[in-house]
Chains A and B, each alone.
Chain A
Amino acid sequence: DIVMTQSPLSLPVTLGQPASISCRSSQSFVHSDGNTYLHWFQQRPGQSPRRLIHKISNRDSGVPDRFSGSGSGTDFTLKISRVEAEDIGVYYCMQATHWPWTFGQGTKVEIK
């Protein structure tokens, strides 16, 4: 199984400041169709998860442009340009190329 490792696991942030979460995989996972199915999910307190970014860098519909994803190979990053109060929650990366799909441990973003 592909292991997804996120850092940090806890990220205290100041509102209005940037934030960055790293996700590293135990191996590369480029699909035979040429895509790398690396997605980012947000889970706000008490809510179900929702996808923010798909295939490394594509924002899902309705996701604010302060969220961006980047990376390649085994190193990926989610960035929030200016953290807002509604961004508080846990963020997960997930690889969806090879079975079984695997999530990172999650990064809890909280107000400093």
Chain B
Amino acid sequence: QVQLVESGGGVVQPGRSLRLSCVVSGFTFSRYGMHWVRQAPGKGLEWVAVISSDGRDKQYAGSVKGRFTISRDNSKNTLYLQMNSLRAEDTAVYYCAKIDCGGDCPPDYWGQGTLVTVSS
């Protein structure tokens, strides 16, 4: 049974930092690129970042580039998102997701999301 469990969300002041984690089970984590996707309250989906299976390649949305860092620890089946210099507009539910569609396009998997609220 596949599970992606995010944690680390909460209320944080503007300008501060937060680190999200996503623990994965049920598939071979080290074989797949992993993504973070966020959703502001009542709004649509926004792709945030991706990391390759070996952790070497990363891409970011322009809105978070230079402030957020995606990383992974394949020995712990865990994906991370380090968020620095947080802004009010970063307030959202953050989902970790396996949504790559290379080759035979394997199934997508999503976590339940963790809410980050940036407010003074």
Contact = CB atoms under 8 A, between A and B. Distances in A.
A39 B101 contact: yes
A103 B47 contact: yes
Contact of B99 (A51, A90, A102, A105): A51
Contacts of A48: 95, 110-113
Nearest to B63: A100
Interface string B58-70: 0111100000000
Given A39-B101, A58-B105, A103 B110 contact: no
Contacts of A100: 47, 59-62
Contacts, number: 55
Contacts of B60: 100
A102 B111 CA distance: 19
5 contacts: A48-B95, A48-B111, A51-B107, A94-B47, A104-B44
Given A60-B105, A94-B47, 19 more contacts: A37-B101, A39-B101, A41-B45, A43-B45, A49-B37, A49-B45, A49-B95, A49-B110, A51-B99, A54-B105, A55-B105, A90-B44, A94-B45, A96-B99, A100-B60, A103-B47, A105-B44, A106-B44, A106-B45
The 9 closest A-B pairs by CB, nearest first: A48-B110, A106-B44, A101-B47, A51-B108, A99-B59, A103-B45, A100-B61, A54-B105, A54-B101
